[in-house]
Amino acid sequence: MDIAVKFQSTATEPHPVYGYKAFHLGAFTFERDEYFAHIHWSTAEEKPASHTMDIGDFLRALMRDVGWGFFYGWVNFDDVFGTTNHYKTIDVFAGTYNGAYKKANVDLLQNFPTEEVRVTFVDILENWTNAGFDPYAAPQETGTPYGRKNGDNLSAVRRVRQLADRCVGLKDDLGMRTDSAGYPINRAFADVPQDPPELHPEPGFENEVHAFNLFAYLSRSDVVWNPSFTSVVKHSYMCPTTEEHKLPIIHGNDRVEWFFQMCDEITWDCGDKLTAEPRARVVMKAGDMAAMPADCRHQGFSPKRSMLLVWENGSPQVVYDIQEGRAPINPVSF
Ligand code: PHB
Ligand code: FE
């Protein structure tokens, strides 16, 4: 017999001064004050350990982890704390993928059913995000994450993907946002031409053949570091996104992914997935392509809002093919 397990987060009463609740997940405790998130745990030797992050950095990372359903592989909030997606369960860890923490034996990793982590992280995000702060927005385009509890921003933190019913722009598609009723052009993309592409469908196929200006579409994106699924062909996902400031997570791959820099420039720090040891700095200028191998972690820095196409392999099998040596870690060998 199947017994449905319902999870609820374990929140405390709000802090008497700061106004935020504290949360427990297994052996981890999460607290926030005016500037910081504090994560507490006990080491294998039962010694108390803790880690502190700037609350803006923490909430931007938490928003991606929740919004992307724990993403592919590792979502490192920084070099210490993060999650690993096993697609039915989630590891929550502190120090496990940091060579120095591991050596000092102060790390902890616990595995949970995905739903248990999800409800806890959603509750933290909703309780700790104040009115006026949108964790998906570029830092210059939103209010401050700091201070005592001041309302909430549920419409921002509950943002879900807008789904297209047909190819974006075809008649009856409601997900269209390149028309005048859509989103305004971002300040950084004021020079991006908005002309639609020329189309010459055979008579009778006007409602079947379509194209849209992807640059125009992206110029109107109101968030950063949040790839959309613009084309899905079997497990090949083309995920363009607009980037400004830094990728709020350090992504550790469990598969290969490709980047195509569509305009402007992003610098990537790439490191070892398991230890955080630095491996490469990759400077990507408009037109450059790069592949992130399945054993790296990476974080991008975009000084000016730029356009990036992330090409993902969404196969549920490929991660096990790589682990068992049937598929390569590096997509190309020179
Ligand atoms: C990535 O981890 O590869 C990634 C995530 C979000 C982005 C861009 C790249 O917006
Ligand atoms: Fe990545």
pLDDT value for 166? 78
pLDDT tens for residues 215-236?
998 999 999 999 998 889 999 9
Residue 170 in domain? no
The identity of residue 123, as a single letter, is D
Q: How many CB atoms lie within 10 A of CB 170?
A: 16
Residue from 72, 308, 311 to probe ligand 1 pocket by mutation (most atoms less than 8 Å from CB): 308
Q: Residue 310 Cα, ligand 2 centroid: separation in angstroms?
A: 8
pLDDT of 4 > 70? The answer is: no
317 phi and psi, to 5 degrees? -95, -30
- 214 and 112 co-located in one domain: no
Among 39, 56, 144, which Cα is nearest to 95's?
39
Residue 293 in domain? yes
111-143 burial code (b ≥16 CB/10 A, e <16) = ebebebbbbbbebbbebbbbeebbbbbbeebbe
d(CA 16, CA 225): 35
Greatest distance between any 2 Cα atoms in the chain: 74
Q: How many CB atoms lie within 10 A of CB 86?
A: 14
Q: Residue 249 Cα, ligand 2 centroid: separation in angstroms?
A: 9
User: Which ligand has an atom closest to residue 241 CA?
Assistant: 1
As for ligand 1, residues whose beta carbon falls within 6 Å of it are 225, 227, 241, 243, 247, 251, 257, 308, 310
pLDDT value for 3? 62
Residue 161, exposed/middle/buried by CB under 10 A (0-12, 13-18, 19+)? exposed
What is the tally of structural domains in the chain? Answer: 2
pLDDT value for 21? 98
Average pLDDT in the chain:
94
Q: Which two tokens stand for residue 312?
A: 């993902």
Range(s) of the domain holding residue 114: 10-157
pLDDT of 1 > 60? The answer is: no
Boundary-marking domain end, from 113, 139, 157 = 157
- Close Cβ partners of 234 (under 8 Å, ≥ 6 residues apart): none
pLDDT tens for residues 151-181?
999 999 999 988 877 777 787 776 555 555 5
Mean pLDDT value of segment 263-283: 97
Residue 179 in domain? no
Boundary-marking domain end, from 157, 175, 203 = 157
pLDDT of 2 > 70? The answer is: no
Residue 175 in domain? no
- 136 and 51 co-located in one domain: yes
d(CA 44, CA 220): 49
Residue 42 in domain? yes
Q: Three-state SS for 320?
A: helix
Residue 36, exposed/middle/buried by CB under 10 A (0-12, 13-18, 19+)? middle
Atom from ligand 1 closest to the CA of residue 226: 10
Boundary-marking domain end, from 157, 174, 206 = 157
Place of tokens 């609740």: 21
pLDDT of 16 > 70? The answer is: yes
Beta bridge partners of 51: 39
User: Which ligand has an atom closest to residue 221 CA?
Assistant: 1
pLDDT tens for residues 45-67?
899 999 999 999 999 999 999 99
Residue from 310, 311, 312, 313 to probe ligand 1 pocket by mutation (most atoms less than 8 Å from CB): 310
Atom from ligand 1 closest to the CA of residue 227: 10
- 31 and 136 co-located in one domain: yes
pLDDT tens for residues 65-90?
999 999 999 999 999 999 999 999 99
d(CA 62, CA 66): 6
Are residues 254 and 302 in contact, defined by beta-carbon separation less than 8 angstroms?
no
Mean pLDDT value of segment 121-135: 98
